[in-house]
Structure 1
Amino acid sequence: MAKGIAIILMVTAHTMTPLGAFIYAFHIPLFFLTAGYCFKTKYCNDRKTFIRHRIKGLWWPFLKWNLIFIILHNVLFSIGIYESAYTAKDMATQALKSVFMTGAEQMLGGYWFLGGLFLASILSLIILTVTRCRAKLLVGCLIVLIVACMTLNTLFPETKAINDGSSILFFTAFFLSGFLLKTFRDIDIIPTSRHLHFGILMLIATWLISTWISGDMRTPYGWQLPIRYIGAIAGCIGLLILCKHLPPASRLARFFKFCGESTMTILTWHFLCFKGITYVLIQIHDLPADKLQEFPTLRELGPHYWLLYTIAGIAIPLLLQLSYNTIKNKVKQLKSSESIAT
């Protein structure tokens, strides 16, 4: 459920919404935190299986969809979505970047975090294996990661390579935080009757911090990084508490769950869905055709139509996923009926 809310927040954040600063404060950390929370300790003794799962679930989708969109680049250019076409050399360069997860097509702009999650997962696996998942040692590692990241951001704020490296450390900190959260989940400091109030207070704290320190996961915060970390963790915990109070059988809970199961589909198609809304707005407001190239939404009108962009960026990919699931199930039924007949 939390994963579904996280992907909805990601789409919303990309629409130039006035809620952007608040959403950026914790929506990406939520992905890393839930990944750490779901980490199984058995993988410390079966590292090959964990890495294989990461390759299949993160690296392969990144490569596959980037290659598809690289091939489609000139088609999208021909209908006015891109400013320039790719040469054969450009395609080869982009394909090579895709292999190493160092660059994604513009329509797959949200894919950057797949590379970060892949590397953070591997680094977290190493740390969890070395520490044997001991909570005290992990807390020490978490502090070291935060201090190292803060130091690198402060000393080299303009050096991209170092900032990219420190970002991986920051991502890893959230992954480990998720694992620690699962470890300490049975320690009930707050009375059960006060959980909901506590969750709301956590989200308010995140909002207050986001009004003071704005930016995303890759922003070099320097000395402000620990405060940003606390704000992100507070937002994640607050949202997880709210999820816990949502009845699992409710329509809203089932919707969030389906969104979570369709994360990759939404992540892949939401920017292209935005272009459909941009095209409609261009026609309605009689704007120049080259406005279709503005990314991710129309600069002037985007903030006024952020809710419409959000609905399109979520609903259309969900319809695609639903159609795919329906066709897949029918094919399975046909195959099973054929096998019974024979």
Structure 2
Amino acid sequence: MQRNTVISICKALAIILMVIGHADAPDVVSQFLYEFHMPVFFITAGYFFSLRYLHDEATFVKKRFKGLYIPFLKWAVFFLIIHNWMFDLGILNEQYGNWSGGVTHPYSWHQMQQNLWNMVTAMGGYDQFLCGAFWFFRGLLVASIAYLIIYKGLDYVAGRTSRLTPYREVIAPVGVCVLMLLLAAWKTAEGLRIIPLIQGGYREIMGTFFFGCGFLFRQWERQYKVTWWMTIVFAVIVALFSQYLTANMNWRSSFTQFISLPVPAICGFLMTYNIATYLNRHEGMVKRFLVYCGDNTLPIFVFHIISYKVVSLLKIWYYDLDMAQIGCHMVIHEHAKEDWFWVLYAIVGVGIPLGWTWCCQRIKSRQQHTSA
């Protein structure tokens, strides 16, 4: 079976947009990309869901835990261990924090233990200032397993109901998406929370919906035609929503923000898929970089925030700022809306994790070659 590098490029574009969004890009850029860049990850994950897992649930769950829970726990614990050390080094401080003025503090021994328990039992408790994107690991893990369970349940009901059996292949995948939208509407309209899930479960519900959209897209992909004019239409739709009905996968989303999310998110994915398809047709350095980037999104998720600190040092020197501003989350906010440092933040946020990963892979490959 030929490898689908289009989806790898989609993931690369999405992770690059995520890094740009975290770099205090201009509002028009941030609002545009936040409409769809995180849903793209859930959609591309759902794209690879296989019906064989309906009869081999254990394998699917093991793969999800190995690919999401284990990396989350490993790196969340790592940043937990170095949290107080970051204060000693000056990387974090209690003076400068996020854009709303919130700051972080050193952990007491009790807080460290509690955070560890939260990590193990609920995939929470991670360092918000160094691991701000880690909610995605929990979101995708819950969404993918929830999709399997609900799909299997709806498929069973359709198979046992004679009137529904002829439409079984449609009822289950479409039914999951519809059910998730109804649950998200109910949750946001009434301000409800799923108590066992950190942050209340909105991201997990919408993640399940987008995961299902990815599976449906895979089924209908052959009928989908990639055209430039539709790519432009999708971009315009996303732009209009980003200006007049702004939404993203914020865990505190209101009912209006929920209503505003699915259309631009799906259009944003289709726009990204179209662009990825065109890029995939041209062999060369750009394609190789994007495929490699899409295949190695994990280190970017984990290390892009700490990598920003390199650029923060440069910005402190350039503007003669207080050295303590290196503790700003995620980047230094002073002058952010009037300069182009966000571009450098984005380059470094992607480049350092990828460069480190490439070097480690080369060293490992040479060691294996030498031992052989």
1:37/1:178 contact within 8 Å kept: yes
Distance 2:257 2:247 in 1: 11
Amino acid at match of 1:7: I
Corresponding residue for 1:220?
253
Distance 2:246 2:125 in 1: 24
Distance 1:223 1:275 in 2: 36
Q: 1:300 aligns with which of 334, 358, 370?
A: 334
Listed one character per residue, the Cα deviations across residues 288-341 of structure 1 (whole Å, up to 9, x for unaligned) are 1221111101111334211010011011111101101101101110121xxxxx
2:184/2:205 contact within 8 Å kept: yes
Amino acid at match of 1:222: F
1:291 aligns with 2:345: no
Listed one character per residue, the Cα deviations across residues 219-243 of structure 1 (whole Å, up to 9, x for unaligned) are 4230452332111001001110111
Listed one character per residue, the Cα deviations across residues 84-105 of structure 1 (whole Å, up to 9, x for unaligned) are 3222112111211211212321
Q: How big is the shift at 1:171?
A: 0.9
Distance 1:326 1:238 in 2: 34
Q: 2:241 aligns with which of 206, 209, 213?
A: 209
Amino acid at match of 2:39: P
Alpha carbons of 1:151 and 1:178: their partners in 2 closer, same or farther (altered >3 Å)? Answer: same
Higher deviation after alignment, 11-20 or 225-234: 225-234
Higher deviation after alignment, 135-144 or 278-287: 135-144
Corresponding residue for 1:326?
362
Output the aligned Cα RMSD.
1.8
Corresponding residue for 1:8?
16
Distance 1:25 1:64 in 2: 30
Amino acid at match of 1:214: T
1:187 aligns with 2:210: no
Q: How big is the shift at 1:248?
A: 5.2
Q: 2:205 aligns with which of 160, 163, 169?
A: 169
1:149/1:167 contact within 8 Å kept: no
Q: How big is the shift at 1:144?
A: 2.2
Alpha carbons of 1:74 and 1:223: their partners in 2 closer, same or farther (altered >3 Å)? Answer: closer
Distance 2:336 2:86 in 1: 21
Structure 1 segments of 4 or more deviating over 4 A? Answer: 159-163
Amino acid at match of 2:25: T
1:7/1:263 contact within 8 Å kept: yes
Distance 2:329 2:238 in 1: 28
2:246/2:260 contact within 8 Å kept: no
Unaligned runs of 5+ in 1: 337-342
Q: 1:145 aligns with which of 175, 180, 183?
A: 180
Q: Percent identity?
A: 29
Corresponding residue for 2:350?
314
Corresponding residue for 1:241?
274
2:151/2:172 contact within 8 Å kept: no
1:248/1:254 contact within 8 Å kept: no
- Alignment TM-score, normalising by the size of structure 1: 0.92
Amino acid at match of 1:298: I
Listed one character per residue, the Cα deviations across residues 114-172 of structure 1 (whole Å, up to 9, x for unaligned) are 11000001101112222347223322331221122112101117x68596223321110
What pairs with 1:32-181 in structure 2 (closer than 5 Å)? 32-83=42-93, 84-99=105-120, 100-105=122-127, 106-132=129-155, 134-156=169-191, 161=195, 164-181=200-217
Distance 2:172 2:61 in 1: 23
Q: 1:198 aligns with which of 197, 207, 230?
A: 230
How many residues are matched? 331
Corresponding residue for 1:261?
295
